[in-house]
């Protein structure tokens, strides 16, 4: 692969830095900035340069498989074939967790792994490569939620001499994820690297997902104004037909990419928090989208999110009963890495104290509001959202970034009062 293909200037610069480095370095990738593409390019260029095998590992199977697909596509673009990719790549790991389209390159056989120039695995399955490879380069993804010991496990399993200076690239975004811990005060590999070696971490700055003004909201609230989208992405708009009349039309307006639907009341505490009013309103919105021509069962077209599993279950039950959704209703944390034309995010909590629960957390709020390619619809209690507090056991209550997001929506988005629709 002699060219940098379609990488932008920042992606090319970071790739060149990583290929020329013999030590550890980090890549922070905000939403839609091409982290997976960059990892695939680095791995293939390393092989082209005679630096192989390359081990590519991530926290979850879905992420690993995403990088494999990019690597396969780039290999074919550079003149290779599916068959030739099978000769250089091996996807190790737990067989039932591997995507069906990648089973042709899957193997846990040590001889097969040892012959591969590209070895893909989760962090937890890297033991399958132990004693089979001695990596010349290691690329670790999702390092915002991976702890240092999990990354070290990959090094221990895929290198013979830990004192050897092997290039290690850690990729992720600590503004979208962190390790799961009781107190919420754990820091992942990428966060620790940013603190100890800040000059070794570089941020991708162009989002190929978020339209205007959504990209500006994400940039100002989470990335100090450093994130941007190219004109063709900024100008993306939803295409609908036979639009309904009244307030529902205002909510699904295809010319407005950022809409907050204000629905009061309905917070119910049980197995996690639920909000029946937000489920009911989401049902009405999804039905209007379907009637206007959107295939709401296609996860590429619609994604419905909520912070709590209980809310997801009730939403999925309601939409499925009306044949309005497939498997595209999920929790915010499980949506990391996903995107869709339209995203509906239910904030759930509704109270006078401004307690947002999980929605008040920086990472949850960022992920939930940065999955949409054309339109984001936030369904929630505006007063709770605009005066929101997050909570962790380590830090207690703290003002949520939802406040800054609410300020932005007031200025550059639209707010629709939903109570007349539900009456």
Question: pLDDT of the chain along its 423 residues, tens only?
Answer: 444 457 899 999 999 999 999 899 999 999 999 999 999 999 999 999 999 999 999 989 999 999 999 999 999 999 999 999 999 999 999 999 999 999 999 999 999 999 999 999 999 999 999 888 999 999 999 999 999 998 999 988 998 766 678 999 999 999 999 887 665 678 899 999 999 999 999 999 999 999 999 999 999 999 999 999 999 999 999 999 999 989 999 999 999 999 999 998 778 887 788 999 999 999 999 999 999 999 999 999 999 999 999 999 999 999 999 999 888 999 999 998 899 999 999 999 999 899 999 999 999 999 999 999 999 999 999 999 999 998 877 778 889 999 999 999 999 999 999 876 766
pLDDT confidence of residue 2: 42
338 and 269 both lie in a single domain: yes
Ramachandran region, residue 175 (left: φ > 0; alpha: ψ -120 to 50; beta: rest)? alpha
At residue 158, φ and ψ (nearest 5 deg) are: -120, 10
33 and 154 both lie in a single domain: yes
Judge whether 13 lies within some domain. Answer: yes
DSSP string, 393-413: TTTEEEE-THHHHHHHHHHHS
Q: How many domains does the chain have?
A: 2
CB 176 within 8 Å of CB 144:
yes
β 24-28/201-203 pair status = parallel
CB atoms within 10 A of CB 292: 18
196 and 230 both lie in a single domain: no
19 and 41 both lie in a single domain: yes
- Chosen domain end from 203, 237, 254: 203
- What DSSP character marks residue 101? G
pTM of the model: 0.92
Judge whether 345 lies within some domain. Answer: yes
Which among 275, 277, 335, 307 is positioned nearest to 391, based on CA atoms? 307
* Domain CATH code at residue 49: 3.40.50.300
Judge whether 328 lies within some domain. Answer: yes
393 and 269 both lie in a single domain: yes
Q: Which residues contact 149 (CB under 8 A, 6 or more apart)?
A: none
Instruction: Return d(Cα 113, Cα 119) in angstroms, integer.
Output: 7
Which among 107, 125, 133, 108 is positioned nearest to 54, based on CA atoms? 133
Structural domain span for residue 238? 214-422
111 and 197 both lie in a single domain: yes
36 and 148 both lie in a single domain: yes
243 and 301 both lie in a single domain: yes
Instruction: Return d(Cα 77, Cα 72) in angstroms, integer.
Output: 9
224 and 80 both lie in a single domain: no
Judge whether 4 lies within some domain. Answer: no
């Amino acid at each position: 692969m002699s060219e940098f293909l379609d990488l932008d200037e920042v992606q090319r610069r970071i790739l060149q830095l990583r290929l020329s480095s013999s030590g550890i370095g980090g890549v922070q990738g905000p939403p839609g900035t091409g982290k997976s593409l960059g990892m695939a390019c680095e791995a293939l260029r390393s092989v082209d340069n005679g630096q192989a095998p390359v081990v590519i590992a991530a926290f979850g199977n879905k992420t690993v498989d995403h990088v494999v697909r990019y690597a396969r596509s780039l290999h074919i673009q550079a003149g290779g074939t599916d068959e030739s990719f099978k000769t250089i790549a091996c996807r190790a790991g737990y067989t039932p967790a591997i995507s069906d389209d990648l089973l042709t390159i899957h193997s846990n056989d040590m001889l097969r792994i040892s012959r591969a120039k590209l070895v893909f695995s989760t962090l937890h399955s890297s033991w399958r490569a132990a004693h089979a490879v001695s990596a010349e380069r290691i690329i670790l993804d999702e390092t915002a939620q991976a702890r240092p010991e999990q990354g070290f496990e990959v090094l221990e399993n895929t290198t013979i001499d830990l004192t050897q200076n092997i290039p290690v690239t850690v990729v992720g975004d600590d503004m979208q994820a962190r390790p799961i811990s009781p107190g919420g005060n754990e820091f992942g590999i990428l966060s620790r690297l940013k603190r100890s070696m800040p000059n070794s971490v570089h941020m991708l700055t162009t989002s190929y997902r978020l339209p205007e003004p959504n990209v500006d909201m994400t940039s100002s609230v989470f990335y100090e104004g450093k994130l941007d989208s190219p004109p063709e992405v900024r100008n993306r708009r939803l295409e609908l037909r036979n639009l309904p009349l009244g307030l529902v039309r205002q909510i699904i307006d295809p010319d407005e990419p950022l809409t907050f639907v204000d629905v009061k009341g309905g917070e119910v505490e049980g197995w996690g928090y639920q909000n029946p009013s937000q489920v009911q309103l989401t049902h009405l919105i999804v039905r209007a989208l379907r009637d206007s021509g959107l295939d709401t069962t296609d996860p590429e077209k619609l994604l419905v999110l909520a912070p709590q599993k209980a809310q997801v279950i009730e939403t999925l039950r309601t939409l499925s009963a009306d044949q309005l959704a497939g498997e595209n209703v999920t929790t915010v944390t499980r949506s990391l890495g996903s995107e869709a034309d339209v995203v509906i995010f239910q904030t759930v909590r509704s109270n006078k104290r401004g307690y947002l629960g999980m929605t008040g957390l920086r990472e949850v709020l960022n992920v939930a509001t940065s999955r949409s390619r054309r339109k984001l619809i936030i369904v929630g209690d505006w007063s709770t959202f605009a005066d929101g507090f997050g909570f962790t056991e380590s830090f207690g209550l703290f003002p949520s970034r939802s406040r800054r997001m609410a300020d932005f929506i007031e200025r550059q988005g639209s707010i629709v009062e939903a109570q007349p629709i539900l009456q």
